[in-house]
């Protein structure tokens, strides 16, 4: 009997030790992965100083950016550099350079800068943001409050977040993002860029666990277009916001997008769309958020975009926007 009890005790002890060693191994392995990810990408994150006046160090603000290419292109947020007369970029090694604004997309909050650096720049590696899953571990790198380049960790809390703006789909993360982090990198466990940190939701202005980043696929598409043309040449049909809605038509419940705001510029407005109109069809597909955003990605690249709309006066109308019309209106 004692032998059996001793055997059980030994067996439980072996299991406990095995579990502990496994936990220690994986914990240490995860820690090493984060260290490696940081080392792989931290040199690709820069600090951006902006000045409203002509003299440096007057009315200045601080943000972050990411080295996009070895020849000096830097990606950051439009809201960091908007209205600024002087922009400087500080590399991880301490070198500073004047930066020229190549172009910006206000709707997507993406801007591209150019520096002429003497040293060899390390562009960040980019991963496919479409592969992200809720719960994936991430690191946010930037310069919060101007204290220096810092790293915080968290997970992907959600994908496809929006504020009704069809040009802007965001990644939500609980990694600490504070003022100054805007324009910095959100990276995965391999140290590859999956997003550019852009905003937080906070009642105090400081971190409350709700941070948002622009997906890397959007960044590559928009930044590449800005570098090539100096502007965005596709996918813009006007400034508008929508909200999902369920409505009953012909005794059927269908999904739609109610236009809650629209500026009086752009082909969508000029062809008759107005506030409270409900988009019920997009390119012969359902009037859903997913169909709207995917259609806009390819609109103007040789593709037309069509809308079926249920108007606020209970009538139907169709709007067809030609590819050539979209291309004529750059942003």
Among this protein's residues, is 92 annotated catalytic? no
Nearest to 325 by CA among 195, 215, 236: 236
Write down the catalytic residue from 64, 105, 109, 288: 109
Torsion angle, alpha carbons of 154, 243, 261, 180, to 10 = 0
Q: 122: which residues sit within 8 A by CB, 6+ positions away?
A: 43, 44, 67, 70
Write down the catalytic residue from 150, 182, 216, 288: 182
The neighbouring-strand residues paired with 196 are 185, 214
Q: Say if CB 321 and CB 299 are below 8 A apart.
A: yes
Nearest to 204 by CA among 178, 174, 171: 178
Write down the catalytic residue from 79, 92, 153, 274: 79
List, as one string, the DSSP characters of 251-313: TEEEEEEEEEEE-S-SHHHHTT--TT-EEEEETTEE--HHHHHHHHHHTTSS--EEEEEE-TT
The neighbouring-strand residues paired with 187 are 139, 193
Q: Which residue has the tokens 């905003």?
A: 199
C-alpha span between 98 and 114 (Å, rounded): 9
C-alpha span between 117 and 297 (Å, rounded): 33
Instruction: Tally the C-alpha atoms within 13 A of residue 307's C-alpha that lie toward its C-beta.
Output: 28
Among this protein's residues, is 182 annotated catalytic? yes
C-alpha span between 32 and 45 (Å, rounded): 20
Catalytic positions, written as ranges: 79, 109, 182
């Amino acid at each position: 009997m004692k032998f059996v009890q001793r055997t059980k005790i030994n067996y439980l002890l072996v299991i406990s030790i095995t579990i502990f060693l496994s936990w220690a191994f994986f914990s240490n392995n995860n820690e090493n992965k984060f260290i490696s990810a940081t080392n792989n990408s931290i040199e690709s994150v820069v600090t951006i100083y902006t000045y409203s006046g002509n003299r440096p160090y007057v009315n200045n603000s601080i943000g972050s950016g990411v080295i996009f290419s070895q020849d000096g292109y830097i990606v950051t947020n439009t809201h960091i550099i908007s209205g600024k007369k002087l922009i400087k970029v500080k590399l991880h090694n301490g070198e500073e350079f004047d930066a020229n604004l190549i172009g910006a997309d206000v709707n997507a909050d993406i801007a591209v800068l150019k520096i002429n650096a003497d040293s060899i720049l390390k562009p960040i590696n980019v991963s496919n943001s479409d592969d992200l899953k809720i719960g994936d571990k991430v690191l946010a790198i930037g310069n919060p409050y101007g204290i220096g380049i810092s790293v915080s960790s968290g997970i992907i809390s959600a994908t496809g977040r929006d504020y009704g703006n069809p040009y802007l789909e965001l990644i939500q993360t609980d990694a600490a993002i504070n003022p100054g982090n805007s324009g910095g990198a959100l990276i995965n466990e391999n140290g590859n860029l999956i997003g550019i940190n852009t905003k937080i939701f906070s009642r105090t202005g400081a971190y409350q666990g709700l941070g948002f980043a622009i997906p890397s696929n959007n960044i590559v598409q928009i930044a590449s277009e800005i570098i090539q043309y100096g502007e965005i040449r596709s996918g813009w049909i006007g400034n508008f916001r929508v909200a999902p809605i369920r409505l009953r038509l012909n005794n059927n419940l269908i999904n739609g997008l109610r236009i809650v705001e629209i500026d009086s510029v752009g082909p969508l407005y000029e062809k008759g769309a107005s506030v409270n109109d409900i988009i019920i069809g997009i390119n012969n597909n359902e009037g859903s958020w997913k169909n709207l955003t995917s259609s806009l990605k390819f609109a103007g690249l040789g593709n037309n975009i069509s809308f079926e709309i249920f108007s606020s006066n209970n009538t139907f109308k169709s709007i067809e926007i030609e590819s050539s019309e979209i291309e004529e209106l750059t942003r």
